[in-house]
Chain A
Amino acid sequence: MTWINFPNYALLTILGWIIGMLMNAIGKSNLVKQLGITLVILGQLVLTLFLLKLWMILDRPPMRTLGETRLWYSFFLPIIGLITYQRWKYQWFLVYSLLLACLFLGFNLAYPENYSKTLMPALQSPWFVPHVIVYIFSYALLAASSLVAIKGLAFHYFKGGESGHQTIALADNLVFIGFAFLTLGLLFGALWAKEAWGHYWTWDPKETWAFLTWIVYLVYIHIRYQHDQKELWALWLLGLAFVVLLVCWFGVNYLPSAANSVHVYTRD
């Protein structure tokens, strides 16, 4: 049994996003651009509707499996893209975040996941939803920041020029907000762990990698405060940080050190 109607919802969403994005990027008149944004928002609403429906059908928060967290990721990226676009007018950034969101939806389309209504007792907690939502929102922001870093690095090495302070300033904005949420997610996790398992931190492999992720972004923030001019350092560090984040998000599942982890996403 796969997700009921998921392909229909996903295709509608992707259609709205892509057409809206193109209208916004290519359109000359303001009206066409605004219509494009409206289409993107409509696509977003379709995905929201699907998430709500899934939540109701499953009768539990759809946040347990890797595929489910990918859905939330696809949900948050366009929101971050839209806000960034509205606030700072970074059009390329809206394009990238929408493409990335499409990629993750596409991944779920290509590999339809089974859903299961069962939720182990340890996950039945008021902490479950805030912990996961805060984390995935943070991951989406930090992924966005690494897109900015890749653009900055590409500019530096292939166009032989400075990527400009604007690029790193956008990365900073995303990382600072993303890091705040990352910290909250980590601490919520600690408070929840105390309730569920009797201790707030047990160096479970997922926790170890969450700590590593946290600390690499922490270093980025310190480098940005203390060595304003070393933009190249910072950009490379953001790239590295994202690799660590990816290991934490799903790479942990494949690490031998995590064979006994409580955090490995169950796949049944």
Chain B
Amino acid sequence: MIQQKRYNNPIWSNPWRYRESFFIVAGLLLCGFALEWASGGTGVPEFTNLSLNIAAGLLVIFIFTAGIFFRKQVFILWLSGIHAAIGAVTGITFMALLMGLTMQHDGYASGWVVQLGLSHVTSSWPYLLILVYLLVVLGIAATKRIIPLSTKNVTYILNHLGLWIVIFSATFGATKVERLEMKVKEGEIEWQAFDKKNNVWVEMPVAIRLNDFVLEQYAPKLGIVDNITGKILHENGKNVMLVDSVASGNMLGWDIRVLTYLDQSGKAGEAYYLNNETGAAPAVKAEAISENKSDTVVGWVSCGSFNHSYEALKINDQLSLIMFYPEPKKFLSKIDILTPEGETTAVELEVNKPAKVKGWEIYQVGYDDQLGRWSDTSVIEFVRDPWLPFVYTGIFMMIAGAITLFWSGRNNTPTDL
């Protein structure tokens, strides 16, 4: 309460505090939204490589010059202080909040939501302006702690510079990220990938030969469906039963017991038999007993596949027992990476286990959903992010910063605030 007195001085007269800070942020956001509106909600246009590099360079030069040579200047002093910092962070929080409440997809929105950029916040003008402002504020604050360097400031530098590097590299690196999708068939070689962003086919520096695609599945699950509405009555998963070794349970008052489980089957007459042909679907012979034990229904249930129809077991007028498609447990592509120099590298590509080659990371992303485990096509993605090493540097600095913060706790007070 004591500090309130200081606010009695007119706004914009020194020393600046929170009022000025929030005014500046509000002004930046207003300008940003005005620009966005004027652009018709198309967002920030893509910069050319050259202009982007110049902008990044100028920003760094400005931050260093201000932080090193003009640090005692009143405005710069304010810019590197807590008041400007809280303002900038509040601004970015505001933009993130908009992002957290609006679906980020122009296709789901229209009118003013798109025109103000609310459905594409990360490429909108207000977001860009506030982000650059945050980079300036954070950058100058960090520069002041780096020069001169002191061991007291290590935690501060790791956290602030680390964060600055992450935001800076992620922002300026965003346009350099390339993501290309490639579809390869078993036994074939592919060297072209599709760039969804620019809608073009690109020739890759390596070719991929798919030797084998493998999909492992979990056992299927049984569920109950309403005969009239066709809705699955799963009640947050309570009426879903995995067909495993203890496959019995109660669903909506019916005791369900699995009598026979066939991992792959074919139908002959009224029954199912073990069969491992392409498209052979799992099937279960199940027994359903009603609550008062008066009704017992026994029959086959199968989820079917691309070339077998499904089969439900009607247990009374309202309900039927059905089988869900088995969920994938693991899928991988056994590929050869072929270079123009004639080198061949064999790799097993799996989700969470990307491969690296010639500056590209290769990811397993999908397969032919229709065919499921019989898919002979693998969908893989090529990703290149030249700024990634910088982002990782920042991330590891922040990890180190978090550990030192944990270690020293509240007592680590930085110098010269």
Residues of A that sit less than 8 Å from B by CB: 1-2, 113-114, 116-122, 124-125, 169, 172-173, 176-177, 179-181, 183-184, 187, 190-191, 194-201, 203, 205, 208-209, 211-212, 215-216, 218-219, 222-227, 229-230, 247, 255-257, 259-260, 267-268
**Distance, CA A87 to CA B125, complexed state (A):** 50
Residues A187 and B399 in contact in the complex (CB < 8 Å), given A215-B89, A222-B82, A257-B103: yes
Residue of B with least CB distance to A224: B410
Q: Does B315 contact A (CB under 8 A)?
A: no
**Distance, CA A122 to CA B401, complexed state (A):** 29
User: Which residues 286-328 of B sit at the A interface, judged by CB distance below 8 A?
Assistant: 327-328
Partner of B100, one of A199, A222, A257: A257
B6 to chain A, nearest CB (A): 12
Query: By the criterion CB–CB under 8 Å, are A259 and B97 in contact?
Result: no
- Interface segment, B70-78, B143-151, B232-240? B232-240
Query: By the criterion CB–CB under 8 Å, are A121 and B351 in contact?
Result: yes
Query: By the criterion CB–CB under 8 Å, are B352 and A190 in contact?
Result: no
A127 to chain B, nearest CB (A): 8
A101 to chain B, nearest CB (A): 23
Query: By the criterion CB–CB under 8 Å, are B249 and A199 in contact?
Result: no
Query: By the criterion CB–CB under 8 Å, are B402 and A117 in contact?
Result: no
Query: By the criterion CB–CB under 8 Å, are A113 and B237 in contact?
Result: yes
Query: By the criterion CB–CB under 8 Å, are B351 and A124 in contact?
Result: yes
**Distance, CA A181 to CA B60, complexed state (A):** 31
> What residues of chain A lie closer than 8 Å to B351, measured between beta carbons?
121-122, 124, 196
List 21 A-B pairs, Cβ < 8 Å: A114-B236, A118-B242, A118-B327, A119-B329, A121-B330, A124-B351, A176-B409, A183-B402, A184-B403, A196-B351, A198-B381, A199-B177, A200-B395, A212-B93, A212-B96, A219-B86, A219-B90, A222-B82, A225-B414, A229-B2, A268-B240
Query: By the criterion CB–CB under 8 Å, are B103 and A208 in contact?
Result: no
Residue of A with least CB distance to B328: A121
Query: By the criterion CB–CB under 8 Å, are A219 and B89 in contact?
Result: yes
> What residues of chain B lie closer than 8 Å to A268, measured between beta carbons?
221, 234, 237, 240
Query: By the criterion CB–CB under 8 Å, are A208 and B100 in contact?
Result: yes
Query: By the criterion CB–CB under 8 Å, are A201 and B170 in contact?
Result: yes
A203 to chain B, nearest CB (A): 6
> What residues of chain A lie closer than 8 Å to B330, measured between beta carbons?
121, 124
Query: By the criterion CB–CB under 8 Å, are B236 and A208 in contact?
Result: no
**Distance, CA A32 to CA B361, complexed state (A):** 61
Q: Does B122 contact A (CB under 8 A)?
A: yes
> What residues of chain A lie closer than 8 Å to B405, measured between beta carbons?
176, 179-180, 183
> What residues of chain B lie closer than 8 Å to A212, measured between beta carbons?
93, 96-97, 100
> What residues of chain A lie closer than 8 Å to B96, measured between beta carbons?
208, 211-212, 215
**Distance, CA A247 to CA B382, complexed state (A):** 34
Residue of A with least CB distance to B104: A203
**Distance, CA A43 to CA B86, complexed state (A):** 44
> What residues of chain B lie closer than 8 Å to A191, measured between beta carbons?
395
A144 to chain B, nearest CB (A): 15
Residues A195 and B354 in contact in the complex (CB < 8 Å), given A172-B410, A215-B93: yes
**Distance, CA A136 to CA B54, complexed state (A):** 43
> What residues of chain A lie closer than 8 Å to B381, measured between beta carbons?
198
A138 to chain B, nearest CB (A): 10
A262 to chain B, nearest CB (A): 12
**Distance, CA A120 to CA B329, complexed state (A):** 6
Q: Does B260 contact A (CB under 8 A)?
A: no
Residue of A with least CB distance to B330: A121
Residue of A with least CB distance to B235: A114
A232 to chain B, nearest CB (A): 9
B332 to chain A, nearest CB (A): 9
Residue of B100, B237, B240 with most partner-chain A CB within 10 A: B100
Query: By the criterion CB–CB under 8 Å, are B237 and A267 in contact?
Result: yes
Q: Does B413 contact A (CB under 8 A)?
A: yes
B117 to chain A, nearest CB (A): 14
User: Which residues 80-134 of B sit at the A interface, judged by CB distance below 8 A?
Assistant: 82, 85-86, 89-90, 92-93, 96-97, 99-105, 121-122
Partner of B409, one of A2, A120, A173, A190: A173
Q: Interface code B376-410, partner A: CB below 8 Å = 1, 0 otherwise?
A: 00000101010010010001001101110110011
Query: By the criterion CB–CB under 8 Å, are B240 and A117 in contact?
Result: no
> What residues of chain A lie closer than 8 Å to B97, measured between beta carbons?
212
**Distance, CA A113 to CA B103, complexed state (A):** 29
**Distance, CA A201 to CA B405, complexed state (A):** 24
> What residues of chain B lie closer than 8 Å to A218, measured between beta carbons?
89
Partner of A203, one of B122, B221, B385: B122
Query: By the criterion CB–CB under 8 Å, are A180 and B221 in contact?
Result: no
Q: Does B213 contact A (CB under 8 A)?
A: no
Residues A125 and B352 in contact in the complex (CB < 8 Å), given A187-B399, A222-B82: yes
> What residues of chain B lie closer than 8 Å to A200, measured between beta carbons?
170, 388, 391, 395
Residues A187 and B395 in contact in the complex (CB < 8 Å), given A1-B241, A176-B406, A203-B122: yes
Residue of A with least CB distance to B248: A1
Query: By the criterion CB–CB under 8 Å, are A187 and B352 in contact?
Result: no
Partner of B406, one of A177, A215, A219: A177
